[in-house]
Structure 1
Amino acid sequence: MREVYGEVPHRLLRKRVRDIASGTEGELMAVVNENVGSVAFERWVELAYIRLPSGREITTAVDNVEAVAGQ
């Protein structure tokens, strides 16, 4: 299994965003190409890391990220 994680550029980095899957809003901190599979089966996805107002970070699929209106 390859252990190559990479940060991916995104136009909404450091902007206020919404995770459309949960409705949660926060600041997009990073988008990372990450292996969410196993040793036997690699599955690479782009995960978005969103920092909530509480300081806690959540992850979601990058396709679930949208800009908050007016930002």
Structure 2
Amino acid sequence: MSECYEYIPHRLLHRRVRDIASGIEGVLMAVINENVSDTGIERWMELAYIRNASGREFTTAIANVHPAYDQPRTAVGRRQDRST
């Protein structure tokens, strides 16, 4: 089993993105082509590394990553919506 990996350029690197699988937003830190197999047969996948607001990074398939154009809503914004 090969342990090689390759960094892949992506248009959303270092931008705010949303993982549609989990709904979590963060900054896209890297896209890496990795062998994700835990058996003797190689299975390569392009993984996105996203750093969320707490500073922790998580991975998801790059197909799940979309730009996060809207900013997270604050508690003040939610209160204002209820009062109208």
1:33 is aligned to 33
Kindly tell me the number of residue pairs found equivalent between the two proteins. 71
TM-score, with structure 1 as normaliser:
0.93
Using the alignment, how far apart are the partners of 1:14 and 1:42 within structure 2?
Answer: 29
Higher relative contact order (CA 8 A, sep 6+): 1
Q: Percent identity, please.
A: 63
Structure 1 spans left out of the alignment, 5+ residues: none
What is the Cα deviation at residue 69 of structure 1?
1.5
Dislocated runs of 4+, deviation >3 Å: none
Computing the radius of gyration from Cα coordinates, the structure with the larger value is 2
Structure 2 spans left out of the alignment, 5+ residues: 72-84
More helix by share: 2
Query: RMSD value over aligned CA atoms?
Result: 1.4
- For 2:10, the aligned partner's letter is H
TM-score, with structure 2 as normaliser:
0.79
2:9 is aligned to 9
More strand by share: 1
